[in-house]
Amino acid sequence: MTLVVGWPPHRDDPAALHLAATLARSAGEDLLLVSVVPRAWPTPVASHVDRDFARWAEEYGDRAVASAREALAATCPDVAADAVAVAGSSVAGALVAEAERLAAPMVVVGSGVEGAWGTVVLGSTADRLLHSSPVPVALAPRGHRSDPDLRVRRATCAFRGDDSSRTALRRAARICRGIGADLRVATFGVRGKVMYPPEVLGEGDVLAAYLSRTSAAQEAAVAALGELRPAHVETAVATGATWAEALERLAWQPGDLLVVGSSSASLMSRLFLGSNATKIVRSSPVPVVVVP
């Protein structure tokens, strides 16, 4: 099968390509780099501006494809891949259309430009994909780079103990079994300021109770994986004053992915992140895969 990779014609950060190459190499998939160019005007114009625009868009697409193929040759010559330019009024919509046309198992995109280097930044395309994609979306941190032979070694599933995170865990386990990677089930919590006197149940007590409940739910969910369970599974709980601090409490290594489930309120099997899940994604030190 083929992974669809968003390749912006005007960007020179190959983060999405580096992540896509790691994913494709791990799963034995092909890559298709897709550059979305403006759609030609639907009605002719007397001054022929429409023809000039169509010609410009075609040339723009040709340059994008040439750039993508150069990047493929330089980054992952060991992975079967190609590049195309497609016309569309929405980048996210065009990427979803290509994914549906190819029955792609995943769409891979990079981060937006307004954010810190090394973090996942939800730009406009990624944000729209998370509201519209019927398939998992992989998000590369800004400036992400990987070694030429890197494969996925471990997937960490962010687990909160509800039905949607149990579904995400099954998806993560299936990914790990398919590529021979380890699985880590992690629950993250944020400690707030103490707002009550000691004799009143405070936020710290609520957090401790939640983490205790979720730890038990982790073990039950792992046991329920059955044949989907990978060879090596570990569980973890991490807390901090912020989501970033909580994620930093875990050890991360090259070849790690963070798998996050969509909100339980998502509609029509599309992806949608709740507020805490969005904060976890933005705080992740490794690439993120958001699953329905």
Residue 214's pLDDT is what? 79
The DSSP-derived string for 205-227 is: HHHHHHHHHHHHHHHHHHHTTGG
Task: Encode pLDDT of 156-205 as tens digits.
Answer: 999 988 888 899 999 999 999 999 999 999 999 887 644 334 444 455 66
**Mean per-residue pLDDT over the chain, rounded:** 87
Residue 62's pLDDT is what? 92
**CATH 3.40.50.620 domain extents, the chain:** 2-140, 154-290
* pLDDT category of residue 42 using cuts at 50, 70 and 90: low
Q: What percent of the chain has pLDDT over 90?
A: 65
Residue 285 has pLDDT above 90, yes or no: yes
| Number of residues that this document lists for the chain | 292
* pLDDT category of residue 274 using cuts at 50, 70 and 90: low
> 154-290: which CATH topology?
Rossmann fold (3.40.50)
Distance CA 126, CA 154 (A): 23
Q: Please check whether residue 159 is in contact with residue 217, taking contact to mean a CB–CB distance below 8 angstroms.
A: yes
Average of per-residue pLDDT across 92-110: 96
- Give the least confident one: 10-19, 57-66, 81-90, 273-282: 273-282
Residue 43 has pLDDT above 70, yes or no: no
* DSSP E strands, the chain: 2-6, 30-37, 81-87, 107-109, 137-139, 154-158, 182-190, 233-240, 256-261, 288-291
Which residues lie below 8 Å from residue 212, measured CB to CB, with a gap of 6+? none
Give 45 or 135, the one with higher predicted confidence.
135
Average of per-residue pLDDT across 237-263: 92
Q: What is the CATH class of 2-140?
A: alpha beta
Task: Encode pLDDT of 117-169 as tens digits.
Answer: 889 999 999 999 988 899 999 999 999 999 999 999 999 999 988 888 899 99
